[in-house]
Structures are given as structure tokens and as C-alpha cells.
Amino acid sequence: MTLPRRAPMVSAALLIGLACGATPVGLAFAGGTTPSTNTTAGATTATAQAPTAKPAQPPPAQQKPPAPKPPPDNTELLPASEVMPLLGSKVRDEAGEDMGMVVDVVVDRDGKPRALVIDFGGFLGVGSRKIAIDWRLVHFQRENKDTPVLLHLGRAEVQAAPEFVPGVEPLRMLGPPANLPASPNAGQ
């Protein structure tokens, strides 16, 4: 049995369908539609059903952020005029020269501060060293928001100090010179 006449008819039907805007069967499969077969006057033509539209999904409900939890009963207010953050604060000597920035505080086993660690020297963090300064040589200037930490040491003394290396026993810090007692307001 030969069907030489049907092949041209199917091809002609496909060409007419394409000219009218119909989707070819192979493309319809790729788009997720299913083909159906129509038989008209002895000719079999394949047509594609239109893709079924998915039902529109409503936009996700806008969820309200959870209400903030009330603070615990044991919270206390710290007036900004009575406290100041220390880490990242600029440090100057008594002559007003920039000495670096506070990067750490060393405390003893009782929690009392023993040393202030500054990032000293260098440019933009390159070539700088961490130096631990005895807490007694530090004075806090609450009224000066730009440089609230004042050292009772000069640049030459800090340059000669050993580098502070955490985890190395014993820790080394720069104390007051033997001939000069610490300031009476030190550590305040």
C-alpha cells in the first residue's frame, strides 16, 4: 500500500496552517501542548491544541513583620552623656598628635581594665603595630567626640614599645616611665 498522495496533502495543510498562524505540531509539543488529528475529506492533518492557561495565582499575601518583642525587665538605660564607645576611637598624645585607634581592651581575671590596645603607626593600616598601653596612662575626654582618648605618652615612647601579641605569654604592655607617675585622672 502506497500513500504518495497523502504526504503532499499533509504538507500542504501544514503550509496553509503556518500561513494562517497555526503552530506546527513539533513546536506545539515543545511548548507543552498536545496534538490532535483531524480527518477531512480523506486527508489527515495534525493540529495543535492551544496551550492551557494556568490559573492565575494571587500574589503572596504581604506578611506583616512580627511585632518587636518587648525588652526584658532587666534592661537599663545608658545616657549618652555618661558613656562612650571605645573600640574604633581615635587616640592622641598630650601634644595633639594622632597616635592611632583603639582596637582592644585587656582586662584581668576580675574584669578590671589593665591595658588599652591601639593600632599604632603605618598608613591606612599598612605597617601598623598593635601596642598595649597601661590603663593608668589613658585619659578619656567625653567632651571631645572626635578624639576621646588621650595618652600620657609621646610618640617616641610608643614607637619603642614592644608589639602586643595576643596569646603569647606573658603579654607585654607599655607602662608609665619610672621617673613619671601616672596622671591622677588616668583611666577616667
pLDDT confidence bin for 12, thresholds 50/70/90: very low
Q: Kindly state the cell numbers that stand for 5.
A: 498522495
pLDDT tens, position by position, 39-91: 445 455 555 555 566 666 656 667 778 888 887 888 888 888 788 888 999 99
From edge to edge, which strands make up the β-sheet containing 90-93?
129-134, 113-120, 98-107, 90-93, 149-151, 138-140
Asked if residue 187 has pLDDT above 60, the reply is no
Of residues 27 and 174, more confidence is placed in 174
Q: Which residues of 12-23 are buried (b: 16+ CB within 10 A; e: fewer)?
A: ebbeebeeeeeb
* Assigned CATH for 86-188: 2.30.30.240
The percent of residues above 90 in pLDDT, for the chain, comes to: 20
Give me the pLDDT at residue 59, please. 62
The ranges assigned to domains in the chain are: 6-48, 86-188
Phi, psi of 26, rounded to the nearest 5 degrees: -60, -40
Measure the CA–CA gap between 78 and 75, rounded to whole angstroms: 10
Of the listed ranges 28-32, 176-180, 183-187, the least confidently predicted one is 28-32
Q: What is the mean pLDDT of residues 22-33?
A: 46
Predicted TM-score of the model (pTM): 0.55
Structure confidence at residue 55 (pLDDT): 63
Please tell me the distance from the alpha carbon of residue 131 to that of residue 99, in angstroms, as a whole number: 10
pLDDT of residue 32: 46
Tell me the residue length of the chain: 188
Mean pLDDT of the chain: 73
Residue type, 115: A
Percent of the residues in the chain that have a pLDDT greater than 70, as a whole number: 60
